[in-house]
Amino acid sequence: MKKWIFLCVIVLLSGGCARPKGFTLKKITSHHTPVPEWEVENTMTRGELDTLFNQPFTYLGSGNHTYAFVSDDGQYVIKFFKQKHMKTRTWVDHLPLPAKRIFYPMGKVDRRMKEREESFKSYKIAFQKLRNETGILYLHLNKSDCLNIPLTLIDQHQKTLEVSLDEMEFLLQKRATLTFDHLKTLYKEGRAEEAQAAILSLLDVVAKRKQKGIYDKDLQFFKNFGFVKNQAIEIDIGEFREDVLPYPTYDELKILSYQIRDFVKMHAPKHLSAVEAEIQGEIEQYK
């Protein structure tokens, strides 16, 4: 009994230790075993992979579920999954049952397992059904032994790290310019026609996804969409669902149109009426 109490005290004290903020290698290191459900058929050739990953990737930022790194040539982004949202086995597993119930309720394990499953389902949907609409190029949800590719990462402190891609869970996307930044640049440079074409491309991407019966729980064009050249893609691909009743296409486009109008009204008001007419003409077909 005394030994158990002592162990609990140690656990409590260790919980007060500060965790390093931001990205660390530990935060993307997975201890999950491969699951057949998460296997996908990648189409990139060995030569393409070797060429693409034969360059350093520098820390770009983090989202709700991933840490992102941009390739040295600026064309690609690799995203590693935040394992804290998916971890289900910890030091708590080694405690006696009463301590487990205190420190790590089973409900928390269930939530993390569910979050991992929903996120991976979403990435798989994007890869198998929305490649053009999301710019996803490669998906690696299980550890493997066939890549044999070491990748150089440069973290937020300019520290160089090396990871084995076989050991990591990650996805690779084309790098996109965020929607706000892209549209601001076009309007600032007097390229209003290209801006309107970009807006129509944005609506088209959403419409195509909707027509495939896929719902996005987090529809925010200003942070979840971007542009490769002048073609819109969804860059946040962790919230796709096929098992829910989605909004009708027209309703979702209408929601998106309000965000676009607010942006144009603020940053390019003289073009607002033309943009409104283009948007209305585009979404009417989905009524």
pLDDT in tens, 95-105: 555 554 565 56
Percent of the chain residues past pLDDT 90, beyond the cut: 72
SS3 category, 29: coil
Question: In residues, how long is the chain?
Answer: 287
Torsions phi, psi for 60 (to 5 deg):
-110, -40
Under 8 Å CB-to-CB from 40, ≥6 apart: which residues? 124, 127, 128, 139, 141
Domain 177-286 has CATH 3.20.20: no
pLDDT value, residue 131 = 97
pLDDT band of residue 221 (cuts 50, 70, 90) is confident
- CA-only gyration radius of the chain, Å: 22
pLDDT in tens, 156-210: 999 999 999 999 999 999 999 999 999 999 999 999 999 999 999 999 999 999 9
Does residue 113 carry a pLDDT above 80? no
The distance of Cα 94 from the centroid of its chain, to the nearest Å, equals 33
pLDDT band of residue 9 (cuts 50, 70, 90) is very low
Strands 177-178 and 225-228: antiparallel
Answer yes or no: are the C-beta atoms of 134 and 95 closer than 8 Å: no
Q: 3-state SS string over 208-237?
A: HHHHCCCEECCCCHHHHEEEECCEEEECCC
Does residue 77 carry a pLDDT above 90? yes
Dihedral over alpha carbons 210, 213, 219, 222 (to 10 degrees): -40
pLDDT value, residue 222 = 78
Does residue 14 carry a pLDDT above 70? no
Of 287, 277, 130, which Cα lies nearest the Cα of 200?
277
Give the sign of the dihedral formed by CA 104, CA 107, CA 112, CA 116.
positive
pLDDT value, residue 68 = 98
Average pLDDT over residues 59-87: 91
Query: What are the residue boundaries of the structural domains of the chain, listed by start?
Result: 21-174, 177-286
pLDDT band of residue 85 (cuts 50, 70, 90) is low
Does residue 88 carry a pLDDT above 90? no
pLDDT value, residue 17 = 47
Lowest-pLDDT choice from 91-105, 203-217, 270-284: 91-105
SS3 category, 172: strand
pTM summary value: 0.85
